[in-house]
Protein backbone atom coordinates (compact mmCIF):
# COMPACT_ATOMS: atom_id res chain seq x y z
CA UNK A 1 0.00 0.00 0.00
CA UNK A 2 1.56 3.30 -1.01
CA UNK A 3 -0.56 6.31 -2.08
CA UNK A 4 -3.28 7.83 0.12
CA UNK A 5 -6.10 5.38 0.37
CA UNK A 6 -9.76 6.01 0.90
CA UNK A 7 -11.59 3.35 2.86
CA UNK A 8 -15.36 3.89 2.51
CA UNK A 9 -17.25 2.54 5.50
CA UNK A 10 -20.05 0.30 4.26
CA UNK A 11 -21.94 1.01 7.48
CA UNK A 12 -23.18 4.08 5.61
CA UNK A 13 -24.03 2.18 2.41
CA UNK A 14 -27.50 0.97 1.42
CA UNK A 15 -27.73 -2.50 2.98
CA UNK A 16 -30.48 -3.53 0.58
CA UNK A 17 -28.30 -2.60 -2.38
CA UNK A 18 -24.90 -3.56 -1.07
CA UNK A 19 -23.54 -5.05 -4.27
CA UNK A 20 -24.46 -1.96 -6.27
CA UNK A 21 -22.85 0.32 -3.68
CA UNK A 22 -19.68 -1.79 -3.61
CA UNK A 23 -19.37 -1.60 -7.43
CA UNK A 24 -19.60 2.18 -7.27
CA UNK A 25 -16.75 2.50 -4.78
CA UNK A 26 -14.66 -0.10 -6.65
CA UNK A 27 -14.97 1.94 -9.81
CA UNK A 28 -14.49 5.15 -7.84
CA UNK A 29 -11.02 4.05 -6.73
CA UNK A 30 -11.58 3.02 -3.12
CA UNK A 31 -8.49 1.43 -1.59
CA UNK A 32 -10.31 -0.73 0.93
CA UNK A 33 -13.78 -1.54 2.12
CA UNK A 34 -13.95 -0.49 5.76
CA UNK A 35 -16.19 -2.83 7.75
CA UNK A 36 -17.41 -1.49 11.09
CA UNK A 37 -18.10 -4.39 13.44
CA UNK A 38 -19.84 -3.25 16.65
CA UNK A 39 -21.11 -5.50 19.41
CA UNK A 40 -23.43 -3.25 21.43
CA UNK A 41 -21.07 -3.64 24.37
CA UNK A 42 -17.68 -2.17 23.55
CA UNK A 43 -19.62 0.59 21.79
CA UNK A 44 -23.33 1.42 22.14
CA UNK A 45 -24.26 0.43 18.60
CA UNK A 46 -24.75 -3.08 17.14
CA UNK A 47 -23.89 -3.49 13.48
CA UNK A 48 -22.27 -6.19 11.35
CA UNK A 49 -20.72 -9.55 12.07
CA UNK A 50 -18.97 -12.55 10.61
CA UNK A 51 -21.73 -13.61 8.14
CA UNK A 52 -21.65 -10.16 6.61
CA UNK A 53 -17.87 -10.28 6.13
CA UNK A 54 -18.19 -13.72 4.56
CA UNK A 55 -20.76 -12.53 2.03
CA UNK A 56 -18.91 -9.31 1.29
CA UNK A 57 -15.87 -11.37 0.41
CA UNK A 58 -17.93 -13.16 -2.25
CA UNK A 59 -18.91 -9.99 -4.08
CA UNK A 60 -15.69 -7.94 -4.06
CA UNK A 61 -11.95 -8.27 -4.53
CA UNK A 62 -11.30 -4.98 -2.76
CA UNK A 63 -9.21 -5.60 0.36
CA UNK A 64 -11.37 -5.69 3.48
CA UNK A 65 -10.36 -3.42 6.34
CA UNK A 66 -12.20 -4.92 9.30
CA UNK A 67 -12.56 -2.60 12.29
CA UNK A 68 -13.50 -4.64 15.36
CA UNK A 69 -15.24 -2.47 17.93
CA UNK A 70 -15.97 -5.42 20.18
CA UNK A 71 -15.15 -6.61 23.68
CA UNK A 72 -12.97 -9.73 24.00
CA UNK A 73 -11.71 -9.58 20.41
CA UNK A 74 -9.45 -12.60 21.01
CA UNK A 75 -12.54 -14.83 21.15
CA UNK A 76 -13.95 -13.53 17.89
CA UNK A 77 -10.77 -13.09 15.85
CA UNK A 78 -10.58 -16.65 14.49
CA UNK A 79 -14.09 -16.34 13.06
CA UNK A 80 -13.28 -13.16 11.20
CA UNK A 81 -9.84 -14.32 10.09
CA UNK A 82 -11.39 -17.31 8.36
CA UNK A 83 -12.75 -14.96 5.69
CA UNK A 84 -9.41 -13.50 4.64
CA UNK A 85 -9.65 -9.85 5.60
CA UNK A 86 -6.67 -7.80 4.36
CA UNK A 87 -6.40 -5.85 7.61
CA UNK A 88 -7.93 -6.36 11.01
CA UNK A 89 -8.03 -3.63 13.65
CA UNK A 90 -8.45 -4.50 17.31
CA UNK A 91 -8.97 -1.84 19.94
CA UNK A 92 -6.30 -1.31 22.60
CA UNK A 93 -9.11 -0.59 25.10
CA UNK A 94 -10.60 -4.03 24.51
CA UNK A 95 -7.40 -5.92 25.28
CA UNK A 96 -5.56 -6.56 28.53
CA UNK A 97 -2.02 -5.42 27.88
CA UNK A 98 -0.36 -6.71 31.10
CA UNK A 99 -1.31 -10.30 30.29
CA UNK A 100 0.10 -10.06 26.77
CA UNK A 101 -3.16 -9.69 24.89
CA UNK A 102 -1.80 -7.08 22.48
CA UNK A 103 0.84 -9.53 21.33
CA UNK A 104 -1.62 -12.40 21.17
CA UNK A 105 -4.05 -10.47 18.99
CA UNK A 106 -1.34 -9.20 16.64
CA UNK A 107 0.23 -12.66 16.32
CA UNK A 108 -3.12 -14.31 15.70
CA UNK A 109 -3.87 -11.87 12.88
CA UNK A 110 -0.43 -12.39 11.34
CA UNK A 111 -0.67 -16.16 11.55
CA UNK A 112 -3.83 -15.95 9.46
CA UNK A 113 -1.94 -13.96 6.83
CA UNK A 114 -3.65 -10.63 7.47
CA UNK A 115 -2.19 -7.24 8.39
CA UNK A 116 -2.51 -6.24 12.03
CA UNK A 117 -3.69 -2.88 13.28
CA UNK A 118 -4.14 -1.48 16.77
CA UNK A 119 -7.00 1.02 17.08
CA UNK A 120 -7.15 3.85 19.62
CA UNK A 121 -10.26 5.62 20.88
CA UNK A 122 -9.97 9.40 21.23
CA UNK A 123 -9.00 9.22 24.91
CA UNK A 124 -6.25 6.62 24.48
CA UNK A 125 -2.68 7.94 24.56
CA UNK A 126 -0.57 7.44 21.43
CA UNK A 127 2.33 5.95 23.38
CA UNK A 128 0.35 2.74 24.02
CA UNK A 129 1.46 1.58 20.55
CA UNK A 130 5.16 2.14 21.27
CA UNK A 131 6.20 -1.37 22.41
CA UNK A 132 4.37 -2.93 19.43
CA UNK A 133 5.22 -0.46 16.71
CA UNK A 134 7.65 -2.76 14.92
CA UNK A 135 5.12 -5.52 14.50
CA UNK A 136 2.12 -3.39 13.60
CA UNK A 137 1.16 -2.94 9.96
CA UNK A 138 -1.19 -0.11 10.78
CA UNK A 139 -2.30 2.13 13.64
CA UNK A 140 -5.90 3.37 13.61
CA UNK A 141 -6.43 6.75 15.25
CA UNK A 142 -10.13 7.35 15.93
CA UNK A 143 -11.19 10.94 15.33
CA UNK A 144 -14.66 10.40 16.83
CA UNK A 145 -15.90 8.28 19.73
CA UNK A 146 -16.69 5.03 17.93
CA UNK A 147 -20.30 3.95 17.63
CA UNK A 148 -21.92 5.97 14.90
CA UNK A 149 -21.18 7.39 11.49
CA UNK A 150 -21.88 11.00 10.64
CA UNK A 151 -20.16 12.48 13.70
CA UNK A 152 -17.92 15.52 13.72
CA UNK A 153 -14.12 15.21 13.61
CA UNK A 154 -12.56 15.86 17.03
CA UNK A 155 -10.19 18.79 16.62
CA UNK A 156 -6.65 18.02 17.66
CA UNK A 157 -6.70 14.39 16.51
CA UNK A 158 -4.03 15.39 14.00
CA UNK A 159 -1.65 15.91 16.93
CA UNK A 160 -2.08 12.31 17.93
CA UNK A 161 -1.39 11.23 14.35
CA UNK A 162 1.82 13.27 14.43
CA UNK A 163 2.75 11.60 17.72
CA UNK A 164 2.29 8.13 16.22
CA UNK A 165 4.45 9.17 13.28
CA UNK A 166 7.16 10.27 15.76
CA UNK A 167 6.99 6.99 17.66
CA UNK A 168 7.25 5.04 14.41
CA UNK A 169 10.19 7.10 13.13
CA UNK A 170 12.07 6.71 16.39
CA UNK A 171 11.71 2.94 16.09
CA UNK A 172 12.43 2.92 12.34
CA UNK A 173 9.02 1.41 11.78
CA UNK A 174 6.63 2.44 9.04
CA UNK A 175 3.12 1.29 9.82
CA UNK A 176 0.28 2.82 7.87
CA UNK A 177 -1.71 5.34 9.84
CA UNK A 178 -5.46 5.25 9.40
CA UNK A 179 -7.85 7.90 10.66
CA UNK A 180 -11.56 7.20 11.15
CA UNK A 181 -14.41 9.59 11.83
CA UNK A 182 -15.68 12.83 10.36
CA UNK A 183 -13.37 12.81 7.34
CA UNK A 184 -14.33 13.98 3.84
CA UNK A 185 -13.05 16.51 1.34
CA UNK A 186 -12.60 18.81 4.33
CA UNK A 187 -10.15 20.44 6.75
CA UNK A 188 -10.08 17.35 8.95
CA UNK A 189 -8.68 15.24 6.11
CA UNK A 190 -6.24 18.01 5.23
CA UNK A 191 -5.02 18.18 8.84
CA UNK A 192 -4.53 14.44 9.37
CA UNK A 193 -2.92 14.02 5.95
CA UNK A 194 -0.46 16.80 6.77
CA UNK A 195 0.28 15.04 10.05
CA UNK A 196 1.14 11.81 8.20
CA UNK A 197 -2.04 9.74 7.82
CA UNK A 198 -2.15 7.28 4.89
CA UNK A 199 -5.60 5.70 5.07
CA UNK A 200 -8.77 7.76 5.33
CA UNK A 201 -12.05 6.19 6.39
CA UNK A 202 -15.24 7.84 5.18
CA UNK A 203 -18.81 6.79 5.78
CA UNK A 204 -21.08 9.74 5.41
CA UNK A 205 -18.80 11.74 3.10
CA UNK A 206 -18.83 8.94 0.49
CA UNK A 207 -22.19 7.21 0.80
CA UNK A 208 -24.06 10.39 1.68
CA UNK A 209 -22.89 11.97 -1.57
CA UNK A 210 -24.96 11.81 -4.76
CA UNK A 211 -21.79 11.05 -6.73
CA UNK A 212 -19.77 8.62 -4.62
CA UNK A 213 -16.90 8.34 -7.10
CA UNK A 214 -16.53 12.11 -7.13
CA UNK A 215 -16.57 12.13 -3.32
CA UNK A 216 -13.70 9.61 -3.23
CA UNK A 217 -11.72 11.58 -5.83
CA UNK A 218 -12.27 14.81 -3.89
CA UNK A 219 -10.96 13.16 -0.73
CA UNK A 220 -7.85 11.84 -2.47
CA UNK A 221 -7.20 15.31 -3.78
CA UNK A 222 -7.75 16.89 -0.37
CA UNK A 223 -5.34 14.41 1.24
CA UNK A 224 -2.73 15.14 -1.44
CA UNK A 225 -2.86 18.92 -1.06
C1 LIG B 1 -17.28 5.11 13.90
C2 LIG B 1 -16.89 4.10 12.82
C3 LIG B 1 -16.54 4.82 11.58
C4 LIG B 1 -17.69 5.59 11.01
C5 LIG B 1 -17.23 6.52 9.94
O6 LIG B 1 -17.77 4.47 15.00
O7 LIG B 1 -15.78 3.33 13.24
O8 LIG B 1 -15.91 4.00 10.64
O9 LIG B 1 -18.72 4.78 10.55
O10 LIG B 1 -18.29 7.32 9.55
P11 LIG B 1 -18.12 8.86 9.16
O12 LIG B 1 -17.09 8.94 8.08
O13 LIG B 1 -19.50 9.22 8.69
O14 LIG B 1 -17.69 9.60 10.40
ZN1 LIG C 1 -14.48 2.34 11.59
Q: Which residues of 193-215 are buried (b: 16+ CB within 10 A; e: fewer)?
A: bebbbbbbbbbbbbbebeebbeb
Measured in Å, residue 128 CA sits from the centre of ligand 1 at 22
Number of domains in the chain: 1
In ligand 1, which atom is closest to the CA atom of 11? 9
Measured in Å, residue 204 CA sits from the centre of ligand 1 at 8
Specify whether 180 is catalytic.
yes
The CATH number of residue 198's host domain is 3.20.20.70
pLDDT tens per residue across all 225 residues of the chain: 556 699 999 999 999 999 999 999 999 999 999 999 999 999 999 999 999 999 999 999 999 999 999 999 999 999 999 999 999 999 999 999 999 999 999 999 999 999 999 999 999 999 999 999 999 999 999 999 999 999 999 999 999 999 999 999 999 999 999 999 999 999 999 999 999 999 999 999 999 999 999 999 999 999 998
Residue 36 labelled as part of a binding site: yes
Specify whether 103 is catalytic.
no
Q: Which residue of the set 21, 36, 137, 198 is catalytic?
A: 36
Residues of the domain holding 54: 5-224
Distance of CA 103 to the CA centre of its chain: 19
Q: Give the residue from 199, 6, 215 showing the smallest Cα distance to 89.
A: 199
Residue 39 labelled as part of a binding site: no
Amino acid sequence: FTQPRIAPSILSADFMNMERDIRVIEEGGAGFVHVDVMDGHFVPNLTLGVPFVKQLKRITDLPLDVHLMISNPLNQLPWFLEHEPAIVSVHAEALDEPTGEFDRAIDMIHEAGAKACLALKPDMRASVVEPYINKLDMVLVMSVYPGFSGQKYIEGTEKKVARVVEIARAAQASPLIEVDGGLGANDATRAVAAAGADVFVAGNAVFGAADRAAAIAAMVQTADE
